[in-house]
Amino acid sequence: MQTEDPAIRTRASAWTPKETLPGRDYHDPAVYEADRSRIFHSLWSCIGREEQLAEPGDYLTQELAGESILVTRTLGGELRGHYNVCRHRGTRLADGCGHVRKVLTCPYHAWSYDLEGNLVGTPNVHEEEGFDRAAHPLWRVHVETWAGFVFVNLSDDPPPLREWLASDPDNPLWFDKYRVEDLRIGRELTYEVAANWKIIVENFNECLHCPTVHPELVQIVPIYRKGEVEERDGWWGNSLADGAGSFTTTGASGLPTLPGIDATDAHTYYGFHVFPNVLLNFMPDSVMYYLLLPRGPEHTTVISNYLFRPETIEGVDGFEENAGEIVKFWDLVSRQDWGICERAQTGVRSKSYAGGGVYPFQDRLLRAFNKRYAAVRGPVA
């Protein structure tokens, strides 16, 4: 039996309809440039998981809103962040993830860089030129980790990542108890979505669409039938259906519950946005994250990775089958979301929508996201 805190009803009755962002914020190239420079290239943004570069000599590259970033694991085990740009003539140094013994070599003229980013090899450049390699290391970016996620910051002097997260009004550090840093990627999916990144964030933060778009999901999370994402005032958990402990069509997975979570969490789903580009889904037996990588004003690559305990991935009988059911269920829900996000994107370009739309109370999280977004981004001419 789902209960709904009367305080929610009280707040709903005090709500007056609010404006959405204007249509141009979802398609205008000038707004996209502001999103790139003032958000993705100024704040801490996520680009991947630490396990993707676990060993000394490993590297990870990722395109973050038009800037290719290279993170290396030094021989001493530290992470270093760099622009993935050769100091000679700008060539992209590396692709994907990989491993080198000691140096990364540019595929153009074979200049090489150690894992700290120092330029250590410049074949056929003559000593007598007086060329100073030490003056030409890779351009650095800040890199830090939280919960096993690799975050980069392209600004000059960012706050420490944890301080930044602690100041987040949505309190992502509350989820430290899930010990996501101990989990490992068991499945990786990638989607190309023809929608602005903010449409995807907004869609994630409301469930007015759930009864129409997600008939299977509302069976597992009954509160969604009401178009609501908050069950009790100020508590962002959503109770699973009676007897359910996972995100599958039956509500069961056969996987063990994650360590460190309590009895309530064992039948609760939490969905959470880490501004700007991570959407986290906490289930009793696994965690799934969406990593949003904007490609343009109307295109976002969404990486959807499923995290499990390493011993679950390696040892438990039936992992393939059990994890497969979770992935199958989420993949269905994800595709339903991307389809409707793409459809929303087609309308926000209309001149009729230039002034935007309207938020009822159930869209209050979107309003909060928009206010935060607008404050960070500032005006665009």
Q: Which residues bind Fe ion (CB under 5 A)?
A: 337
Binding to ligand FES, residues 60-89 (CB under 6 A): 86, 88-89
Q: Quote the least distance from Cβ 106 to ligand FES, whole Å.
A: 3
Q: Quote the least distance from Cβ 360 to Fe ion, whole Å.
A: 17
- The residue within the footprint of ligand FES, chosen from 26, 32, 44, 111 (CB under 6 A), is 111
Q: Residues 244, 326: contact at Cβ < 8 Å?
A: no
Report which residue's Cβ sits closest to Fe ion: 337
Nearer to Fe ion, 213 or 376 (CB): 213
Length of the chain: 381
Query: What is the Cα Rg of the chain in Å?
Result: 22
User: E strands along the chain, which residues?
Assistant: 18-19, 45-49, 58-64, 67-73, 79-83, 97-99, 103-105, 112-114, 119-121, 140-146, 149-153, 184-193, 237-239, 268-274, 278-282, 287-296, 299-308, 358-359
Nearer to Fe ion, 120 or 213 (CB): 213
Q: Quote the least distance from Cβ 85 to ligand FES, whole Å.
A: 9
Nearer to ligand FES, 42 or 91 (CB): 91
Helix axes 197-204, 364-377, angle to 10 degrees: 150
State the Cα–Cα distance between residues 88 and 184, nearest whole angstrom: 37
Q: How many residues bind ligand FES (CB under 6 A)?
A: 8
Q: Quote the least distance from Cβ 138 to ligand FES, whole Å.
A: 11
Contact segment (CB under 6 A) with ligand FES among 42-50, 107-115, 257-265, 279-287 equals: 107-115
Beta bridge partners of 149: 49, 146
CB atoms within 10 A of CB 151: 24
Q: String of b and e for 262-295 (b: at least 16 CB within 10 Å)?
A: eeebebbbbbbbbbbbbbbbbbbbbbbbbbbbbb
Q: Quote the least distance from Cβ 121 to ligand FES, whole Å.
A: 9
- The residue within the footprint of ligand FES, chosen from 37, 91, 145, 257 (CB under 6 A), is 91
Nearer to ligand FES, 108 or 235 (CB): 108
Nearer to ligand FES, 88 or 179 (CB): 88
CB atoms within 10 A of CB 170: 16
State the Cα–Cα distance between residues 193 and 303, nearest whole angstrom: 10
Q: Quote the least distance from Cβ 128 to ligand FES, whole Å.
A: 20
User: Binds 337, which of Fe ion, ligand FES, none (CB < 5 to 8 A, cut-off by type)?
Assistant: Fe ion
State the Cα–Cα distance between residues 375 and 338, nearest whole angstrom: 27
Nearer to ligand FES, 90 or 160 (CB): 90
Contact partners, residue 354, CB within 8 Å, separation at least 6? 22, 23, 24
User: Binds 111, which of Fe ion, ligand FES, none (CB < 5 to 8 A, cut-off by type)?
Assistant: ligand FES
Nearer to Fe ion, 73 or 198 (CB): 198
Q: Quote the least distance from Cβ 110 to ligand FES, whole Å.
A: 6
Q: Give the binding site for ligand FES (CB under 6 A).
A: 86, 88-89, 91, 106, 108-109, 111
